Amino acid sequence: MSEAASLLYIDDDAGLRRLAARSLARRGYQVTLAEDGEAGVALAAATAFDVVAVDHYMPGLDGLQTLARLSALPVPPPVVYVTGTDEGRIAVAALKAGAADYVVKSVGEDFFDLLAATLDQVRARSLLERQKAVAEEGLRASNLRLEALLGEVNHRVANSLQLVAAMVRLQSTAVEAGAAREALADTQRRIEAIAQVHRRLYTAGDVENVDMRDYLGALFAELGDTWSTDTAPRDLRFEADAVRLPTDRAVSLGVIVTELVTNACKYAYPAGPGEVRVALRQRGDDAFRLSVEDDGCGIEAGQTPRGTGLGTRLIQAMAQSLRSTVEYDALHAGTRVSLTAALR
């Protein structure tokens, strides 16, 4: 390593300390010496060292006690533990206590060669760990900023869609009753179904996925307020598992539910009151199934869609975006429509 690294060497043997200082200085280290554990901990608390070497046998604080004190510092330095021969038990205890590595003490230059190599390795690992921690912290901060930005985007999109829906509602009041007003009302409901998704994204902790039980429940309540009247009461029933979908899939499913429930409320019970049921169930770990049904007059095979047919085309387009198809149950007395798709 090109730069001189700062090393704190803690050992009660004065001769070995001096020898270590000369030998490790030749190997590129700037060495600070401490004669015991107390002095070493005090130096480490006052100065940030790149690495610390600690001998095991010392009066007062022994090596393991010194290691514990070093590990308790606000920014603990990486420690290489120095043990005597045939002391594997002590080395294992030091590693468990937080030492980055250990070296067995011996006589001669071979010991300092091994110690220097170990110090280099520990420093390199410590540097990588610090860089990783900095990168992870930067990534966390970036994710928080992106989530806040995405939340603001969803907030603005929801507000903008709500404004568009209000404009459509105002326009419908200026149109005489009939097909045009009905078409504008349908358009308003479609816009509000999409706005509901973005409203829930910015009010929830998760800005990428939608709680479908919460979202469809609110959407279903709005449809009930719209379609259930004193002259044509509609009993709307909704059940759902705790299914979460990404934004685009939630929008597609919301539009499908809006169209199917609207059709059922409009056409299933021409003679009076009736019930419309919606169920969303999770299938295994990776799929869900939606069903919308009524007990009304049903749909004859080959029957041309009522109204403009736009709702039917929207349902087919949204189902295609979910990589699925809408199925009609010919055996059901009224109308039963179902769809199975992947969660992602």
How many residues in the chain? 344
The single residue listed with the structure tokens 């940030």 is 48
Q: Is residue 63 part of a domain?
A: yes
Classify residue 233: in a domain, yes or no.
yes
Q: Per the domain annotation, does 62 fall within a domain?
A: yes
Give Cβ neighbours of residue 317 (< 8 Å, ≥ 6 apart): none
User: Residue 278: how many CB atoms within 10 A of its CB?
Assistant: 23
Helix axes 179-203 and 109-173, enclosed angle (nearest 10): 160
**Is 219 in the same domain as 92?**
no
Residue 202 forms part of a structural domain: no
Residue 180 lies in a domain: no
Give the tens place of pLDDT for each residue, 37-92: 999 999 999 999 999 999 999 999 999 999 999 999 999 999 999 987 667 788 88
Torsion angles phi and psi, residue 186, rounded to 5: -60, -40
Q: Residue 271, SS3?
A: coil
150 in a domain, yes or no?
no
Domain boundary among 88, 105, 122: 105
**CATH number of 248's domain:** 3.30.565.10
Quickly state the pLDDT bin for 1 (edges 50, 70, 90).
very low
Q: Which token pair is 270?
A: 């021409």
H/E element, 155: helix 109-173
Question: Which residue among 105, 136, 152 closes a domain?
Answer: 105
71 found inside a domain: yes
How is residue 313 written in tokens? 């085309």
Give the residue from 284, 273, 289 showing the smallest Cα distance to 336.
289
Give domain status of residue 118, yes or no: no
Among 105, 137, 169, residue at a domain's last position: 105
Which residue in this structure is represented by tokens 């919460």?
214
First to last CA, the chain: 49
- Phi and psi at 299, nearest 5°, equal -120, 125
Neighbouring C-beta atoms of residue 198, cutoff 10 Å: 25
Domain encompassing residue 307 = 209-344
Q: 191: which 2 tokens?
A: 């816009």
Tell me the whole-structure pTM to 2 decimals. 0.56
| Residue tagged 């979910």 (tokens) | 322
DSSP 8-state symbol, 264: I
Number of structural domains found in the chain: 2
Per residue in 230-255, pLDDT (tens digit) is 888 999 999 999 999 998 899 899 88
- Which candidate, 342, 324, 335, 239, places its Cα nearest to that of 284? 342
For residue 38, the domain's CATH number is 3.40.50.2300
Q: How far apart are CA 326 and CA 50, in angstroms?
A: 65
What local confidence, expressed as pLDDT, does residue 32 receive?
95
Per-residue pLDDT tens digits for 128-142: 888 888 888 888 888
Tokens of 130: 């610090």
